[in-house]
Structure 1
Amino acid sequence: MHYFVSALFVLSVATCAMAYSDGAPAEVCDDMTPKHPFEPRKDKFPYTVAISKTSLASGQETDITISGKDFKGFFVQVRKGNKAVGTFTTNPKEVRGVKCHGTANSAATHSNASVKKSITLKWKAPQEKGELEVYATVAENGEIFWAKHKVGKITVK
């Protein structure tokens, strides 16, 4: 019986981990928390998120780069208040767009679960002006992840 319960647990964890190997679903748009069977880490966020241009005009693009220790997954949004704004460029081999808050590609997530040392995302500013906040969720693996970290600001002028 113990073996059966252990096997069921391993299979359920493996299924959950594989379910998001191609990126986060739209259901995470608001809280940016993966639906893994584990809680987000509360310790220090071990990744660096660099924004190439933090001040730009509507329609201009900037690069957002996540780097640090190896990771398998990510979910990034640029927000005005609680709404994802702007659009990310997608690349089927590495980056998949997610439609959040009614805007296609307003969030970016991984499109595979390969180990990454860094990833650079291209984000295009929306028409609306103002100060925006950049948030990132990064998953080292299915069990270890940090959710909805405020990692920078962008001003659209």
Structure 2
Amino acid sequence: MNNKLLLLLLTLLSITCKCYAFSGGAPELVCDDMMPIHLVPPQRSKLPYIVGANNTEIKGGEAVQIEIGGGRFKGLMMEVRKGNRATGKFLLDEDENDFKTINCHGGKNNVLSHQNNANKKNKTVIWKSPKNPGKYTIYVTIAKDGFVFWSKIPAEEITVV
């Protein structure tokens, strides 16, 4: 095998490995910018997925369902923020296979991430609000696949009273 062909093969293999390095979920190092570590930039088009809460005004400490719909996706990172910090807590069933929680900004279970690269569609998750009143915004990063993704998109606002 000549050197150019070998170099091309090694380059393609390294690209494939890097794109799927976090198929098990987002690492804590992306908590702030919510930017996947992919080899391509995020999409600039409108988010083709629908992300919304079943109730946009709740009392402190109450939980809401947040739905993700509109097509198949492989990766997800979701934060509900007040200002620039993830807050509240995502509650997952013990038998949940698609998502896991990670800890960001000094919180516990306050960020939702995928835990595999299987296709997901029409999913519902539960977020429990903090007791502090105020306006909280759902932010999502959604990856259709390793090369097509939208990053840190504000989806909906929840008011805690």
- Report sequence identity in percent: 38
Aligned twin of 2:64:
62
Aligned twin of 1:22:
24
Aligned twin of 2:10:
8
Q: Please identify runs of 4+ aligned residues in structure 1 that moved more than 3 A.
A: none
Shift of 1:2: 2.9
Q: Deviations over 1:43-92 (max 9, x none)?
A: 12111112111111111111111111211000000000001010001355
TM-score, scaled to structure 2:
0.92
* Separation of aligned partners in 2, 1:95 and 1:156: 25
Q: Where in structure 2 are the equivalents of 1:34-113 lying within 5 Å?
A: 34-91=36-93, 92-113=96-117
Shift of 1:15: 1.3
Q: Which of structures 1 and 2 has the bigger CA Rg?
A: 2
Q: Which amino acid aligns with 2:157?
A: K
Match of 1:118 among 111, 122, 126: 122
Of 5-14 and 27-36, deviating more is: 5-14
Which structure 2 segments of 5+ residues have no match? none
Shift of 1:34: 0.4
Aligned twin of 1:132:
136
Q: Which amino acid aligns with 1:65?
A: E
The alignment covers a number of residue pairs equal to 157
State the SS of the aligned residue for 2:33.
coil
* Separation of aligned partners in 1, 2:9 and 2:100: 32
Coordinate RMSD, CA, aligned: 1.2
Shift of 1:118: 2.1
* Separation of aligned partners in 2, 1:7 and 1:64: 43
* Separation of aligned partners in 1, 2:4 and 2:123: 42
Of 143-152 and 4-13, deviating more is: 4-13
* Separation of aligned partners in 2, 1:39 and 1:81: 25
Q: Which amino acid aligns with 1:102?
A: G
Q: Which amino acid aligns with 2:141?
A: T
Q: Which amino acid aligns with 1:4?
A: L
Q: Which amino acid aligns with 2:72?
A: D
Which structure 1 segments of 5+ residues have no match? none
Contact 2:98 2:120 in 1 (8 A): no
* Separation of aligned partners in 2, 1:142 and 1:124: 30
Higher strand share: 1
